[in-house]
């Protein structure tokens, strides 16, 4: 009997993930820090991203490489892949000591002077996200990937955040704050 998640077939997702492994790794842990780790990420978030990528320039997460991949995926493929990656063990990273204090302060407390909400308010104290709300797990994610996504939200290259939540937050963040919190998140678990 196949393993099933709420929306997809894990075994089918594993078989369909062969082409994903080139960038995202055999077990959903990419070796290249510019590509996200998918292992352990909640299925609701993953499927929402794939649906957005599939829209191409008509979507709010336009990425030519991912559009080319997602464009040929059926809804069933997306749900199966999302279930598979959610079922995998997430990886844990480390944080460089020079970013620890500032990154931790931003993640846990935000910046009250500039009305920047703490990351943990939505992503949780350990970066596990909120699967019911489709809020991504951040724990252990590559810092370079996180930083790039924060910059993409800041410049409106990425606009698939509900009610502009991320864009409103990062619009008030300095580059130094984004770098520090990205580094902190990689070591968060």
Where does a domain end: 49, 67, 87?
A: 87
Asked whether residue 48 is assigned to any structural domain, the reply reads yes
Q: Are residues 42 and 104 in the same domain?
A: no
Q: Are residues 72 and 136 in the same domain?
A: no
Asked whether residue 64 is assigned to any structural domain, the reply reads yes
- Rounded Cα distance between 186 and 142, Å, is 6
Q: Are residues 80 and 109 in the same domain?
A: no
Q: Are residues 80 and 136 in the same domain?
A: no
- Rounded Cα distance between 43 and 40, Å, is 9
pLDDT for the residue 29? 98
Q: What are φ and ψ of residue 6, in 5° steps?
A: -60, -35
Residue with the two structure tokens 């077939």: 9
Q: Are residues 35 and 102 in the same domain?
A: no
* Predicted structure pTM score: 0.93
- Rounded Cα distance between 87 and 83, Å, is 6
Q: Are residues 109 and 180 in the same domain?
A: yes
- Residue 125's SS3 state is coil
Please give the tally of structural domains in the chain: 2
Decide: 106 and 119 in contact? Cβ < 8 Å.
Answer: yes
Asked whether residue 4 is assigned to any structural domain, the reply reads no
pLDDT for the residue 138? 98
Q: Are residues 181 and 101 in the same domain?
A: yes
Which range marks the domain in which residue 138 is found?
Answer: 97-186
CA atoms within 13 A on the CB side of 38: 28
DSSP string for residues in 67-101: HHHHTT--HHHHHHHHHHHHHSPPP-----HHHHH
Residuewise pLDDT in 10s, the chain (189 residues) = 445 455 799 999 999 999 999 999 999 999 999 999 999 999 999 999 999 999 999 999 989 999 999 999 999 999 999 999 999 999 999 999 999 999 999 999 999 999 999 999 999 999 999 999 999 999 999 999 999 999 999 999 999 999 999 999 999 999 999 999 999 999 998
Where does a domain end: 19, 53, 87?
A: 87
pLDDT for the residue 7? 79
Q: Are residues 68 and 109 in the same domain?
A: no
Q: Are residues 140 and 63 in the same domain?
A: no
pLDDT for the residue 6? 56
Where does a domain end: 54, 87, 120?
A: 87
CATH number at residue 142: 1.10.760.10
- Rounded Cα distance between 54 and 61, Å, is 9
DSSP string for residues in 132-145: TTTBPP-TT--HHH
User: Would you say the C-alpha torsion 63, 67, 73, 74 has a positive or negative sign?
Assistant: positive
């Amino acid at each position: 009997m196949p393993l099933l998640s709420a929306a997809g077939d894990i075994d089918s997702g594993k078989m369909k993930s062969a082409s994903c492994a080139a960038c995202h790794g055999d077990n959903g842990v990419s070796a290249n820090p510019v590509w996200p780790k998918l292992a352990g990420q909640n299925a609701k978030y993953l499927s929402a991203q794939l649906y957005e990528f599939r829209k191409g320039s008509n979507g709010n997460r336009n990425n030519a490489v991912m559009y080319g991949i997602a464009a040929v995926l059926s809804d069933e493929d997306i749900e199966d892949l999302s279930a598979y990656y959610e079922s995998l063990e997430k990886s844990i990273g480390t944080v460089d000591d020079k970013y620890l204090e500032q990154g931790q302060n931003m993640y846990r407390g935000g910046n009250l002077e500039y009305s920047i909400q703490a990351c943990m308010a939505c992503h949780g104290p350990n970066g596990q996200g909120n699967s019911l709300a489709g809020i991504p797990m951040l724990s252990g994610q590559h810092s370079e990937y996180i930083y790039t996504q924060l910059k993409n939200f800041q410049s409106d290259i990425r606009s698939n955040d509900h009610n502009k939540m991320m864009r409103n937050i990062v619009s008030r963040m300095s580059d130094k704050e984004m770098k520090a919190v990205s580094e902190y998140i990689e070591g968060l678990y």
